[in-house]
Amino acid sequence: MPRTPKGQVAFLSSNGRLQLRVSHGGKRYYISTGLPDSPLTRRGQAGRVAEIERDLALGVFDTTLDRYRPVSGGDVAPEPVQAGPTLAEIWDAFTEEKRPQLRETTIEIDYRQIRARIAALPTNSCHDVGAIRDHLLKHHPVRAARKTLMLLNAAMNWAVSEGLIPDNPLAGVVKTIRVPKGVGEGHQPDPFTPSERDAILAGFRTSAFSSRYAPLVEFLFLTGCRPSEAVAVQWGDVRPGKNVLSFRRDAVSTPRGVVLQDGLKTQTGRDFPVNPQLRGLLSSVRPESPAPDELLFRSPRTGGVINWGNFVTRHWRPILGSQGVRYREPYCVRDTFITSCLERGISPVLIARWVGNSAEIILRRYAGVIERRGVPEF
Domain identity same for 169 and 199: no
Q: What is the pLDDT of residues 254-306, one digit of tens each?
A: 656 677 778 777 778 899 999 999 999 999 999 988 899 999 999 888 888 89
Domain identity same for 63 and 112: no
Domain identity same for 281 and 200: yes
Q: Look at residue 186 and tell me whether its pLDDT is greater than 70.
A: no
From 54-68, 228-242, 266-280, the region with the lowest mean pLDDT: 54-68
Q: What is the pLDDT of residues 7-25, one digit of tens each?
A: 588 888 877 778 888 888 8
Instruction: Examine residue 78 and state whether it is found in any structural domain, yes or no.
Output: no
**Last residue within a domain, chosen from 313, 329, 345:** 329
Domain identity same for 207 and 291: yes
From 132-141, 202-211, 346-355, 369-378, the region with the lowest mean pLDDT: 369-378
Domain identity same for 110 and 236: no
Nearest to 357 by CA among 288, 264, 260: 264
Total count of domains within the chain:
3
pLDDT confidence of residue 286: 92
Nearest to 193 by CA among 319, 374, 325, 318: 325
Domain with residue 234: its CATH number is: 1.10.443.10
The mean pLDDT value for 373-377 works out to: 48
CA distance 210 to 197: 16
Domain identity same for 256 and 227: yes
Domain identity same for 202 and 324: yes
Q: Is 0.85 surpassed by the pTM of this model?
A: no
Instruction: Examine residue 33 and state whether it is found in any structural domain, yes or no.
Output: yes
| Residue 139, phi-psi category: left (phi > 0), alpha (psi -120 to 50), beta (remainder) | alpha
Nearest to 229 by CA among 135, 334, 149: 334
Q: Is 19 exposed, middle or buried (0-12, 13-18, 19+ CB in 10 A)?
A: buried
Instruction: Examine residue 202 and state whether it is found in any structural domain, yes or no.
Output: yes
3-class SS at 249?
strand
Instruction: Examine residue 76 and state whether it is found in any structural domain, yes or no.
Output: no
CA distance 213 to 300: 9
**Last residue within a domain, chosen from 176, 203, 236:** 176
Instruction: Examine residue 267 and state whether it is found in any structural domain, yes or no.
Output: yes
Nearest to 35 by CA among 44, 24, 27: 44
The mean pLDDT value for 51-80 works out to: 67
Full domain range(s) for residue 260: 195-329
Domain identity same for 243 and 130: no
Instruction: Examine residue 322 and state whether it is found in any structural domain, yes or no.
Output: yes
Instruction: Examine residue 297 and state whether it is found in any structural domain, yes or no.
Output: yes
Q: Contacts from 44-51 at CB under 8 Å and sequence distance 24+? A: 45/11, 45/18, 45/20, 48/20, 49/9, 49/20
From 42-56, 126-140, 223-237, 283-297, the region with the lowest mean pLDDT: 42-56
Q: Give residues with Cβ within 8 angstroms of 301, minimum separation 6.
A: none
Beta pairing class for 270-273 and 244-247: antiparallel
Q: Give residues with Cβ within 8 angstroms of 128, minimum separation 6.
A: none
Residue 211: pLDDT band (50, 70, 90) is very high
CA distance 278 to 44: 64
pLDDT confidence of residue 209: 93
Residue 336: pLDDT band (50, 70, 90) is very high
